[in-house]
Amino acid sequence: MASEYGYRLKVNEKVDVYSFGVLLLELTTGRVANDGGLEYCLAEWAWRQYQEYGLSIDLLDEDIRDPANIEDAFAVFTLGVICTGGQPSVRPSMKDVLYALLRFEHKSRERSLQHAVSEETSLLES
């Protein structure tokens, strides 16, 4: 739960951004947001791991550690960390989050196309 729920009477759309960030972290890490009881916060855990180890393969859910998807998974994990930042004013808008996800999709398609062209070129050369 976003920290501003505890100390502000009025919350805004940045709470939704925080919640979406938690969802992104759950998807990329394979962890549940409240998996460790009262003392566990997935957003804080992700931030600490990122600060201490950077983008490590160990952060990711084993089911998405395919080398072809690592770059995308790291990008989505990083976006989740950004969305769950402690200061609501620093979190991106949902529109910005959408644009970031669309850029990831576009880059992923470009990489897939480049890979397919490279494979076809290799076959033609043999």
pLDDT at 9 > cutoff 70? no
- Could you tell me the CATH number of the domain that includes residue 34? 1.10.510.10
For CA atoms 73, 78, 81, 82, the dihedral sign is negative
Q: How many domains does one find in the chain?
A: 1
Mark out the alpha helices in the chain (DSSP H runs). 4-7, 14-29, 42-53, 70-83, 94-125
Over the stretch 81-91, which tens digit does the pLDDT of each residue have?
999 998 888 99
pLDDT at 76 > cutoff 80? yes
Boundaries of domain holding 46? 4-125
Q: How confident is the model at residue 105 (pLDDT cuts 50, 70, 90)?
A: confident
54 phi-psi bin (left φ>0, alpha ψ -120 to 50, beta other): left
Over the stretch 18-58, which tens digit does the pLDDT of each residue have?
999 999 999 999 998 876 565 678 999 999 999 999 999 99
